[in-house]
Structure 1
Amino acid sequence: MKLRSLILGVLLGCLPLCALEPPAKAPLAMGADPVRDKNFFLLSSLERDPQASAAIGADSGLQELLHSKRTALLAADKACPANPSTAAECYAQPMQWTPAEIDQAAHALRALYAANPSLRVFTDTTLRRSGLYQKHQSSPGPDLLASAWRDCAQGLNRMLDLYALARKPRYAQIDSAAYDVKSASFAHLIQTAASLVVEDRLPASKLFYQPSLDFALQVLRIHRRDEAGRHEPLDLGENRATLARIRTIPWAKYPWTVIVVPGSGTESINVRLSPAGRMRCELAAKRYHDRKAPLILVSGGYVHPNQTPWAEAIEMKRFLIEELHIPADAILIDPHARHTTTNLRNAARLVYRYGIPFEEPALITTDEFQSASIEGPVFTARCMLELGYVPHRVTKRVSRFDLEFLPRIDSLQADNTEPLDP
């Protein structure tokens, strides 16, 4: 019946929402550039779908946008001054998307959804099942496609704002540009980045967003801001053994599904794991050995100090294995979260993607100071401000160190404002 409904929906030009699958409970398939895929899943996925990309590439309105962006980058490559104070702006602003350009592309994508069966299937399977546009999940297909594009366009603008135009990130101490974007060295680098895109990528660009996307990613690389892609794909690397074990866990034998341990950054680049991180791991290890949960999920990226070579989650995993005798296949890592808000968001994502019972309670185990903060109204307000939702629901306090919580599916939504951990 479901297949029949799907076929009927395609023939009628839209897919009934009741026939659609929920977001996939499986790790996302990514290509060779996970930074690109995680920030701009729609755009990467279009390129991996020959029929959908052919439909996009044949549209006259979208080709007009491609010509405009291509022409703008070629003009910048020839005319932008070597003056350090204006070079970055000269290159970056033409690659950003104006409200009118975003609207033009959204209108064209809506029309293509109505006219092209391949794009309908792409939107209502690949795009919808990714969960990365969860806040638009209940929207009809054309709205979902247009909204996903708007998210990507705003993400491109944000990336260039932060790393080419000197706009301050929300947490400048840890997320800022590596270079002074008004310096002579950066002017030379951004000129080279533009020239590289012109020579290497622009001749092959067929889709309207590609010049802007290729340029923005080159700018991000200048600042060595590839944190979002490090250790990916997790399911084939650091989390592979644990993911295999998850399928065999007798969940009913444990009161909680997983112990989530938020990371804590160090004050010095010479310190791999902070004292707070060590103690939080000790708390979690005791609960694991007491059979409170079959898994420990440690969360924390390359955060403190800025541009540190140590990921909190990697170092916590090492400590748990080497000193606290936790089996490697009982540990999951999230080496990307940069804040307490995203510790919980990314944990919810892994619980969902890895098939851990999503409707069953889990534990947040940490020091009592962070635990009290997570439970309080200020943290809830911070989640709403920074994420637009609260990624968890605390159901009760278990001890001074432990909160029981339920993850929320809103957490699957990609964050287009934070390119280092979208």
Structure 2
Amino acid sequence: MIKHVTLAAAFAATLATALPLRAAPVADRHWSLMAGRMFPLVSALQSERAPGPLAAVLEGRRKRIDACELAPKCLLLASTWTDTEMDAVAAAVSAMGKPAGLADDGPRAQVVRELRGLNAVLQIYGFGNQSRYPMIDGPVEKVDGAGFKALVADAIWLADAGRNDPAVRLDPSIALAIALIDANERRDAVLFEPLDQAHNAAPLALARQTDWGRYRYSAIIIPGVGPDNPALSISARSKLHLQLAARRFAQGDVAFIITSGAAVHPKGSQFVEAVEMRKTLIERFGIPAERIVIEPYARHTTTNLRNATRRLHAMGAPLDKPTLIVANSSQSRYISSPEFAARNPAELGYDPGTVGQRHSPYEVEFTPSLRSLRVDPWDPLDP
């Protein structure tokens, strides 16, 4: 018996020295990607290094949130950011100098976009307020049913369990917003990450060697048109866009093709427009794969242009060089219309670039702008 006790004690002592004295926080890689995509500046702050004024604001918010004891309505309201609290975060970000990913309009504007977007997530996925595009966005459960309340409750428990995750620990509201999106299985914003390293590696490598001066246009941008039937992988109109684009690309004065579009129409579709269009260009028209860049996140015509600009920037393409949008005649006409010109500042807050001359019923020039790099989680599925 004594021998067994001695062996057990020795084993316990060995195990104690092998284990760390303090377990490191568990990091959820999905949450880390989501935080980086939705709240890049805010999530880059670390609470333990927060300057005095921000530290006081964060402590006040924690007390307010903890006092709710996970009661849904109280918690969602307590997690909502006020203008004064946003100002404190903006001041802390400004003190960081010029952090990576800073938007062209400065730290306060970027912080306000991120935190107002966070507030919108709480409103739409927590309270059930209507999203801007309810036919394709919003919670998976009907907001007036028991399923919605149960999903919100589950998201609150999920957020509470993960609030110390390194990616979200600045403030409990970040964990709550991401948990609400996670509970609804809306992984759209990070589905292809790391996009350029994993999916666009070959064309980006080629872009780094490209003499852009040889080309009239840096790229053809092809916006997708989702089919109405969920059984169809690609619509007839997208096939028209591809045929027109392949014919135009063959003229040799365009460096790359960017296919743009997420899995949008109909709601719940499993087919990503950009991926299906790339596949068709390669298989049916023989376009070299290294000449095609996918942009698989855009959900609207406005973000087709914004997100294509982001890919051009990642490629190192000169943004003062025009691109060529190739689309069916009605969409091309719409992109050139005053209606579309008004829609961009109304929805994005800016023009993603300059729409230029319409050369034919199917072709219109577009010169990108750095404004398109502004992150906005008001649409958490494509910030």
Task: Give the TM interval when normalised to the shorter protein.
Answer: 0.7 to 0.9
Residue 244 of structure 1, CA deviation: 0.4
Q: CA separation in 2, counterparts of 1:403 and 1:64?
A: 52
Q: 1:244 to 1:256 in 2, by over 3 A?
A: same
Aligned-partner residue type, residue 364 of structure 2: L
Superposed CA deviations along residues 314-347 of structure 1, whole A, max 9, x for unmatched, are: 1101111111111110100110001001101111
Secondary structure of 1:76 counterpart: coil
Aligned residue type for 1:298: T
- Determine the structure 2 residue equivalent to 1:70: 62
Identity %: 33
Distance 2:345 2:182 in 1: 30
Give the secondary-structure state (helix, strand or coil) at the position aligned to 1:398. strand
Q: 1:101 aligns with which of 59, 64, 85?
A: 85
Query: What residue is the counterpart of 2:145 in the other structure?
Result: 183
Alpha-carbon distance, 1:55 to partner: 2.7
Distance change in 2, residues 1:336/1:203 (3 Å): closer
Map residues 363-402 of structure 1 onto 2, 5 A cutoff.
Answer: 363-402=324-363
- Deviation at residue 60 of structure 1 after TM alignment: 4.2
2:337 alignment partner AA: G
* Residues 295 and 331 in structure 1, CA contact (< 8 A), matched pair in contact too: yes
Q: Does 1:229 align with 2:221?
A: no
Tell me whether 1:123 sits opposite 2:123 in the alignment. Answer: no
Aligned equivalent of 2:104: 134
Q: For residue 76 of structure 2, what is the aligned residue in structure 1?
A: 92
Once the two structures are TM-superposed, the CA of residue 251 in structure 1 deviates from its matched residue by 2.6
1:354-365 equivalences under 5 Å are: 354-365=315-326
Taking the aligned partners of 1:204 and 1:325, their CA distance within structure 2 comes to 46
The alpha carbon displacement at 1:41 in A equals: 0.5
Describe the SS at the equivalent of 1:337.
coil
Q: Is the 8 A contact 1:73 1:198 kept in 2?
A: no
> What is the aligned partner in structure 2 of residue 149 from structure 1?
111
Query: Which residue does the alignment assign to 1:192?
Result: 154
| Conserved? CA contact 2:257–2:292, under 8 Å | yes
> Which residue identity is paired with 1:97?
W
Q: What do residues 213-247 of structure 1 show as CA deviations (whole Å, max 9, x unaligned)?
A: 00110011111222111101111111111000112
8 Å CA contact 2:274, 2:294 repeated in 1: yes
Q: What amino acid is aligned across from residue 396 of structure 1 in structure 2? A: Q
Q: Which segments of 5 or more consecutive residues in structure 1 lack a partner in the other structure?
A: 1-29, 48-52, 81-86, 114-118, 137-143
Higher helix share: 1
- 1:364 Cα deviation from its structure 2 partner: 0.6
Q: Where do 5+ consecutive residues of structure 2 fail to align?
A: 1-28
Aligned to 2:9: none
The answer (yes or no) to whether the contact 2:114–2:375 under 8 Å persists in 1 is no
Deviation at 1:32, TM superposition (A): 6.8
1:92-146 alpha-carbon deviations (Å, 9 max, x no partner)? 222111334334x24xx53x57xxxxx74x331x24xx24x2222xxxxxxx2x4
User: Who is 1:36 aligned against?
Assistant: 35
Structure with larger Rg: 2
Instruction: Count residues in correspondence.
Output: 355
C-alpha displacement at 1:290, in angstroms? 2.0
C-alpha contact (below 8 Å) 2:261/2:295 kept by paired residues: yes
Aligned in 2, Cα 1:196/1:362: closer, same or farther, shift over 3 Å? closer
- Contact kept, 8 Å, 1:66 with 1:206, in 2: the verdict is no
Aligned to 2:296: 335
Per-residue displacement from partner, 1:65-111 (whole Å, max 9, x unpaired)?
A: 33343344444345x3xxxxxx4x343222111334334x24xx53x
Contact 1:77–1:191 (Cα < 8 Å) also in 2? no
Q: How far is the alpha carbon of 1:351 from its aligned partner? A: 1.2
* Deviation (angstroms), 1:250: 3.1
CA contact 2:110–2:374 (8 Å) conserved in 1: no
TM-score by length of 2: 0.85
Q: Is the 8 A contact 1:395 1:406 kept in 2?
A: yes
Specify the SS of the correspondent of 2:45: helix
Q: Which amino acid aligns with 1:123?
A: G
Q: 1:289, CA displacement in angstroms?
A: 1.8
Pairwise CA RMSD of aligned residues?
2.4
Q: Is 2:200–2:293's contact at 8 Å kept on the other side of the alignment?
A: yes
Counterpart of 1:46 in structure 2 is 45
Q: Distance in 2 between matches of 1:92 and 1:316?
A: 40
Deviation of 1:371 (Å)? 0.6
Give the equivalent residue in structure 2 for 1:10. none
Change (3 A) 1:195 1:65: farther
The code of the aligned residue for 1:197 comes to A
CA separation of 1:314/1:205 partners in 2, compared to 1, >3 Å: closer, same or farther?
closer
After superposition, give the CA deviation of every residue in 1:229-277 in whole Å (9 maximum; x if it has no partner): 1101111111111000112223333221110101111102111101111
**Native 8 Å contact 1:33 1:229 kept in 2:** no
Aligned-partner residue type, residue 126 of structure 2: A
